[in-house]
Amino acid sequence: MLKKVNVVLALALMLAMILSACQPAATPTTAPPTAPSTGEQPPAQAGNLKIAVVVKAVTSDYWKLVGAGVEQATQTDPTIEATFLGPNEETDIEGQIRIIEAQISAKVDALAVAPSQADQLQPTLQKAVDAGIPVVLIDTNIDTFTAKSAFVGTDNKLGGQLAGEFIAGKLQSGDEVAIIRGAAGDPVHNLREDGATEALEAAGLKVVAVQPADSDRAKGQSVAENLITANPNLKAIYATNDEMALGAFNAAKAAGKTLVIVGFDASPDALTSIEAGELSGSVAQFPGKIGELGVLTAAAVARGESVEAFVNTGVEVVTADNIADFKK
């Protein structure tokens, strides 16, 4: 009897693990209509272009700004009907695939997708192209996906380089810097890390550790605490998103250290923190532009117009010195 109970419970636990892995996902059937959709327009006359924008997650400030850009595009061009979709967590690749598949079934006119992982998403995106739905990649490029119509986004490597140069400008040659990055394997974070590492090493700084913290504030804080302890001479932390940078700031503050801490995204929370003299800087992308130009490019492709293969949406380091200009 007891044995049976144990077996049932062991199976139940396994199920729990599997389910909890999928838990943050928007469910396949309800995701499209219920996911926060800032870009939805009331259904208008026939002939409108249906563009589905599928991002990595709909739960952070950054993706909301992308969503605001999507909304902006539908106002610029009222013949575009855009939906803004995505799973709840950036690590939920499966969830993103399900959402894209639902859009293929719904026969949208074009897809604008920010792929969370290149290799996993590529077959699904290829399926869309094969079904006659053009795909514009936004935010994150997949180099090997040649069937895409265009890439609209930030030059993340350049952003990393600018962050590295900014940090180098504040430190001396030989100083120690640690990098906290997003989920291992995420191509955007690879670029942001590589760009910064190159710039830091070119300036003679030592990158003493690179640790992933999954773009999460609490994890970023724990990792930063451990890094600060393990490297007492640490002078700066570069985090490949603002959530982790804000966590790192909390860690440095608790340890009584003043470090140069630079994030990436220029999220509202990070800007407040820069204004308060906490974070040293954050690499700004222009997420609104990514959303806006992403939709407009996708619409142009759907209409059969020719578009640039790479639409650069710009990048700059926001600091206490230029934040007033940036916020305008």
Partner 1 sequence: MAQITIDDAEKSKGIFKGKSVGRFIARFGAFFGLLALVVFLSATSNVFLTASNLSNIARQATVNALLAVGLLLAIITAGIDLSVGSILALSMCSMAILAIQWGVNPFLAMIACLAVGTFVGWINGILLTKLRLPHPFISTLGTMNVARGLALIITGASPISGFDRAGAGGVLFLGAGSIGPVPIAFFIVVIVYVIFHIILTNTSLGRHIYAVGGNTAAARLSGINVDRTLVTVYSLSGLMAGLAALMLAGRTNSGFPNAGAGYELDAIAAVIIGGASFAGGSGTISGTAIGVLLIAVLRNGLVLLNVPTEWQTVAIGLVIIGAVFVDVLRQRARR
Q: Does 24 bind partner 1 (CB under 8 A)?
A: yes
Q: Does 229 bind partner 1 (CB under 8 A)?
A: yes
> 281 with 273: CB under 8 angstroms?
no
Quote the CA–CA distance of 240 and 161 in Å, as a whole number. 12
Buried b (16+ CB within 10 A) or exposed e, 242-271: bbbbbbbbbbbeeeeeebbbbbbbbbebbb
Both tokens assigned to 85: 């979709």
Taking the mean position of all CA atoms in its chain, how far away is CA 230?
A: 29
**224 to 43, 145, 199, 260, 328: CA distances (angstroms):** 48, 35, 21, 13, 32
Q: Does 16 bind partner 1 (CB under 8 A)?
A: yes
* CB nearer partner 1, residue 246 or residue 293: 246
Q: Give the contact letters, 256-285, x = binds to partner 1 (CB under 8 A), - = no.
A: -------------x--x-------------
Q: Does 232 bind partner 1 (CB under 8 A)?
A: yes
Q: Where are the beta strands (DSSP E) in the chain?
A: 49-54, 80-85, 110-113, 135-138, 150-153, 176-181, 206-212, 234-239, 260-264, 281-285, 310-312, 315-319
Which range in 77-85, 115-123, 190-198, 245-253 contacts partner 1 by CB under 8 A? 245-253
Nearest to 154 by CA among 7, 303, 289: 289
Q: Does 9 bind partner 1 (CB under 8 A)?
A: yes
Both tokens assigned to 19: 């389910």
Quote the CA–CA distance of 21 and 17 in Å, as a whole number. 6
Quote the CA–CA distance of 93 and 319 in Å, as a whole number. 33
Quick count: other Cβ atoms within 10 Å of Cβ 20?
9
Q: Does 202 bind partner 1 (CB under 8 A)?
A: no
The binder of partner 1 chosen from 41, 48, 59, 126 (CB under 8 A)? 59
Which range in 40-48, 100-108, 165-173, 240-248 contacts partner 1 by CB under 8 A? 240-248
The binder of partner 1 chosen from 41, 226, 312, 322 (CB under 8 A)? 226
Quote the CA–CA distance of 328 and 139 in Å, as a whole number. 23
> 54 with 113: CB under 8 angstroms?
yes
The binder of partner 1 chosen from 66, 112, 125, 246 (CB under 8 A)? 246
Which range in 93-101, 151-159, 161-169, 224-232 contacts partner 1 by CB under 8 A? 224-232
Cβ 4 to partner 1, closest distance in Å? 10
The binder of partner 1 chosen from 87, 134, 164, 212 (CB under 8 A)? 212
Q: Does 233 bind partner 1 (CB under 8 A)?
A: no
Cβ 299 to partner 1, closest distance in Å? 26
Which range in 131-139, 143-151, 198-206, 208-216 contacts partner 1 by CB under 8 A? 208-216
Which range in 72-80, 98-106, 113-121, 248-256 contacts partner 1 by CB under 8 A? 248-256
Taking the mean position of all CA atoms in its chain, how far away is CA 87?
A: 12
Q: Does 230 bind partner 1 (CB under 8 A)?
A: yes
Which residue ranges make up the site for partner 1 (CB under 8 A)?
A: 2, 5-6, 9-10, 12-13, 15-17, 19-20, 23-24, 36, 58-61, 64, 88-89, 184, 209, 211-214, 216-218, 221-223, 225-227, 229-230, 232, 243, 246-247, 250, 254-255, 269, 272
